[in-house]
Amino acid sequence: MKRREFLAGAITSTLALSTTRARASATVRVLVPDPDNLQYMAFWLAKALFFPGAGIDVEIVSPPIPQQALAWIDDEKPDAAVLPPPMYLELVANRAPWVLGANLLANDPIDLVVRKSVADAKGVTRDMPIRERLEKLRGVKIGIAPHPPPRLRALYKSVGLDANKDATTITIHGKGQNAAFERGDVDALYAHTPYVEKALVHQDAVLIVYQNGGEVKELANRQIHALTFSRAFLNARHDDAQAMVRAVARAETLLRDTPADAVAPLQKAFPDRDPAEIDRIVHLYSPAMPATPKVSVDGFAPAVLFFPEGEAPPNLSGIDLASFVAPELVQEKPADRSPALAYAGSALALVALAALAVKLRSSRPRDPNEARK
């Protein structure tokens, strides 16, 4: 009798545990300024693969244009937001009740690509020192959007050159870059997704300076785009915030270690994008993923240094910056189990308990009267 009571109690406990692990998903409203931006690749992959297993159901909200994102934060009051440095720096400068929770990108998302025929004519190859590559490109017209010149200057300065003297640049708004490259208005682009992969896949461009890969140390190992949380959400639902950060960490690990495994989920998430371009940008951005999504106060200074051209960087002096980062969300802890895995684990436990029941039945003393039945 005692054995039967033990077995029944064990089965009841196992089923209760599976029910706890397979709790209903919690909805989190996340504001994303531009819902098709693959610079947020780690977030999109976490949404596709890992948030559901962590019990998180993400609802995306986006303004008509990215520039309205901060206004939407005030109006829509989302739980979280994926923000580029200029936006989260403005929140910090205004002492808004928002906290950085996860770094989504460590190396600069911009690369320098050149028309292959021009690179061949100039004798430019990636096995040369960066300075030699840039010197050989003197006089080549480089298309660049209005905001990234501070980073181009940092690239040239890193090898002892002056972009104002040694580079020939033409300002082109992002959406016009590929058309200008196609027409021959420029023979090089200093560009990020979606323009860089289009030039590489469809416009016979070749990669010359690989900032995504950390080739320029001054532009690497930074705190770039961030998953941020409202203080209200962080205080009320700390476990959900931590689960999201862990999911982002898993996405970043997958992107770094096995980027090919990230291509199909991102293609499914963005069915209107060219699959070849998605494949290319995933592999380009793979080494740009941070080793950990952990955020820090030290990450604010580079974000201010590379603030967009033509805009005044915010003044962060006198602000307790430590109160605007939540590095504690990144902790060493076993990964959250998905409901499916929880059920699978419960099923295995039940099988083991059934086997135990059979063993107990076969090993107990037999009733002498059973032989007569």
Residue 281 CB contacts under 8 Å (≥ 6 apart), including other chains: 38, 41, 193, 194, 196, 197
CA dihedral 266, 267, 272, 278 (to 10 degrees): 80
For residue 77, tell me if it sits in a domain: yes
Task: Evaluate whether residue 10 is within a structural domain.
Answer: yes
| Strands of the 168-171 sheet, one edge to the other | 168-171, 141-144, 188-191, 111-115, 205-209
User: What pLDDT shows up at residue 331?
Assistant: 76
Tell me which of 311, 329, 347 is where a domain ends: 329
Examine residue 370 and state whether it is found in any structural domain, yes or no: no
Give the single-character DSSP code of 5. Answer: H
Residue 256 and residue 163 in one domain: no
Position 24 scores a pLDDT of 65
Is residue 150 a part of any domain in this protein? yes
User: Phi/psi of residue 322, each to 5°?
Assistant: -60, -25
How crowded is the C-beta side of 336, counted as CA atoms within 13 Å? Answer: 29
94 and 225 inside one domain:
yes
CATH classification at residue 37: 3.40.190.10
Sign of CA dihedral 117, 123, 129, 132: negative
**C-alpha–C-alpha distance, residues 250 and 87, integer Å:** 25
Cα(275)–Cα(201) distance, rounded to whole angstroms? Answer: 10
372 is a domain residue: no
Residue 276: inside a domain, yes or no?
A: yes
Give the ranges where the chain is alpha helix by DSSP (H): 2-21, 41-45, 69-76, 85-93, 116-122, 130-136, 149-157, 163-166, 177-183, 195-202, 231-236, 238-257, 260-269, 275-285, 300-305, 339-363
Please name which of 107, 91, 92, 37 lies closest in space to residue 66, comparing C-alpha atoms.
37
- Residue 174: the pLDDT is 87
How is residue 68 written in tokens? Answer: 């309205």
CA distance 208 to 193: 16
Residues 225 and 214 placed together within one structural domain of the fold: no
Same domain membership, residue 181 and residue 145: yes
Residue 49 backbone dihedrals phi, psi, to 5 degrees: -115, -35
| Of 204, 219, 234, the domain-final residue | 219
Same domain flag for 125 and 97:
no
What gap in Å lies between CA 78 and CA 69, rounded to an integer? 11
Q: pTM of the prediction?
A: 0.83
Tokens in use for 206? Answer: 């070749």
Assess whether 255 and 212 both reside in one domain. Answer: no
212 and 247 in one domain? no
Q: Which of 182, 204, 219 is the last residue before a domain boundary? A: 219
Give the contacts of 170 (CB within 8 A, at least 6 positions apart): 141, 142, 143, 144, 180, 185, 186
- How far is the C-alpha of 195 from the C-alpha of 178, rounded, in Å? 6
Residue 80: closest CA among 238, 223, 222, 299: 238
Distance CA 329, CA 99 (A): 11
Where in the sequence is the domain holding 115, given as residue range(s)?
A: 111-219
Question: What pLDDT, on the 0 to 100 scale, is given for residue 221?
Answer: 97
Q: Do 192 and 283 share a domain, yes or no?
A: no
Does one domain contain both 120 and 163? yes
Measured CA to CA, the distance from residue 206 to residue 203 in angstroms comes to 9
Burial of 67 (0-12, 13-18, 19+ CB in 10 A): exposed
Judgement on whether residues 163 and 295 belong to the same structural domain of the protein? no
In this predicted structure, what is the pLDDT of residue 80? 98
The verdict on residue 233 lying in a domain is yes
The CB-side HSE value for 94 (13 A sphere, CA atoms) comes to: 11
Judge whether 142 and 188 are in contact, CB under 8 Å: yes
Is 336 inside a domain boundary? no
Q: What is the pLDDT along the chain (373 residues), one digit of tens a residue?
A: 444 443 344 333 333 333 333 446 799 999 999 999 999 999 999 999 999 999 999 999 999 999 999 999 999 999 999 999 999 999 999 999 999 999 999 999 999 999 999 999 999 999 999 999 999 999 999 999 999 999 999 999 999 999 999 999 999 998 999 999 999 999 999 999 999 999 999 999 999 999 999 999 999 999 999 999 999 999 999 999 999 999 999 999 999 999 999 999 999 999 999 999 999 999 999 999 999 999 999 999 999 999 999 999 999 999 999 999 999 999 755 444 443 333 334 343 333 334 434 343 444 444 333 333 3
DSSP-assigned letters across all residues of 295-328: --GGGHHHHHHTPPTTSPPP--TT--GGGGB-GG
Residues 116 and 137 in one domain: yes
The total number of structural domains in the chain stands at 2
Q: In terms of domains, do 290 and 148 share one? A: no
**Cα 242 to Cα 228: distance, rounded to the nearest angstrom:** 12
* Residues whose CB falls within 8 Å of the CB of residue 330, separated by 6 or more in sequence, listed in order: 102, 245, 246, 249, 292, 293, 294
| Long-range residue pairs from 347-352, CB within 8 A, at least 24 positions apart, any chain | 349/14, 350/11, 350/14
